[in-house]
Amino acid sequence: MNGDQNEKAVISDEMQKSIMEMAKRADEEASRTVQTSIIFEEPLDEADAATIQAIHDTQNPELSYKLFYAIQSLMKQFLPKGSEYKSLRDYTYELKNILLTQGHNKDEKGIRGADARQAFIAAELNVMYQIITDWVANGAMAAYLINKLQDLLIERGYDFPGNPKRRES
């Protein structure tokens, strides 16, 4: 391992600690009450809910779009607000996008090369939707969501910023 890779590992550890400290601080400061019933601007209808159960690892642009923006809406609604938590929100969105694109990270130019809005329904979107609804139902604590996403990414062998088991390139 050369010096540059050592520096990246230190930066990743520091970034990870900073994100987790920020998440804990945001959770402590949270004074909102999380509703047990989740309300969407455009809820999934019965046909879409049934389709989620019936489709196995396929793509359906219309349903994928609805699920992606339902997930995005919940994250936007319940992640901590304010400029001091921007890096926390960005990091959480990045973890979500890595999951939805089957492990695609952004390259050095900031290009991911995959579209999270068109993720496979059963393998990614439905899994992410279940994580998000579970997160909201359990108090919408940022650290909880970050840990869930990181654990799932590690389980699937996907690399992500701050991964303690980051693969050498």
Each of the 169 residues of the chain gets a pLDDT tens digit; together they read: 454 444 444 557 787 788 888 787 777 766 444 544 455 556 666 666 655 555 545 667 788 888 899 999 999 999 999 999 999 999 999 999 999 998 888 888 988 888 888 777 777 888 999 999 999 999 999 999 999 999 999 999 998 888 877 654 4
Containing structural domain, residue 98: 3-32+43-156
- Residue 57 located in a structural domain: yes
Write the Ramachandran bin of 121: left for phi over 0, alpha for psi from -120 to 50, otherwise beta: alpha
- Residue 91 located in a structural domain: yes
Q: Tell me what pLDDT residue 169 has.
A: 45
- Residue 47 located in a structural domain: yes
- Residue 108 located in a structural domain: yes
Q: Tell me what pLDDT residue 97 has.
A: 93
Reduced DSSP (H G I as helix, E B as strand, rest coil) percent helix, strand, coil of the chain, to 5: 65, 0, 35
Cα(123)–Cα(15) distance, integer angstroms: 29
The tally of domains found in the chain comes to 1
Residue 142, SS3 per DSSP: helix
- Residue 38 located in a structural domain: no
